[in-house]
Amino acid sequence: MKRLETIFVALNSWAIILILSAMTLIVGANISLRYLTAHSLPWADEAARYLMIWMTFSGAGLVLRSGGHVAITNLQDTLPDVGQRCLRAAITLGLLIFFGFMVYVGIQYAQRMQFQVTPALRLSFIYVYAAMPVGFGLLMAHLLLIAHPFITAGTYKRADATDALPGGANG
C-alpha cells in the first residue's frame, strides 16, 4: 500500500510539474514572439488560463497532504485528546462528504458545458470543467491516505526534501 501511495503522489506531482512547464513555455514563447516579431499567439492566454485551472485543482490534494491549506485550530487546541480526535474525525468526514458532493456537481457542470467551445482554442469546455471533478476526486484520495495519522495524532504526511520531488529517494 505504501508503494502505491508513493507512486500515486509521484504521478500527481509530475502532472503538476508538466502543467507548470507547459504554462511557462506557452507564456514565454508568447512574450518572446510579441517582442521579437510584434505578433503574439492568439491562443496563449487562454491555454495558460486553462492550464492554471487544471494545476490548481490537481495540486490541491498535494497541498492537503502536508497541511498547507488554511486551518484554524483554536477549538481543537482547547479540547482534551479524545475530543481532538473526535473533532478531527468529524472534520475528515465532513471534508469527504463535501469533496464527494463537489465531484458530483463538477460532473454535472462539465456535462452541461460540453457543447460550448472556447473562443481561441475551439476546445470543448468539458475539458476545462473536468478539472473540478478530477481535482476533488484527487482531494478525496489524498484525504483518505492521510486520514488515519491525521485523526489519531493530528499529523500530516510531511515529506522531507528528497521525498517532496518526484524521483527523490522514495520516488
User: For residues 139 and 158, which has the higher predicted lDDT (pLDDT)?
Assistant: 139
Percent of the chain with pLDDT over 90: 82
The pLDDT tens digits for 88-135 are 999 999 999 999 999 999 999 999 999 999 999 999 999 999 999 999
Q: Which amino acid, residue 123?
A: L
Which pLDDT does position 169 carry in this prediction? 43
Report how far Cα 132 is from the mean position of its chain's Cα atoms.
9
Contact assessment for residue 65 and residue 157, using Cβ atoms and an 8 Å cutoff: yes
- Please report, for the chain, the start and end positions of each structural domain, with discontinuous segments joined by +: 2-156
CA distance 23 to 9: 21
The pLDDT tens digits for 72-91 are 889 999 999 999 999 999 99
pLDDT band at 160 (very low <50, low <70, confident <90, very high): very low
Tell me how crowded residue 88 is: count the other CB atoms within 10 A of its CB: 18
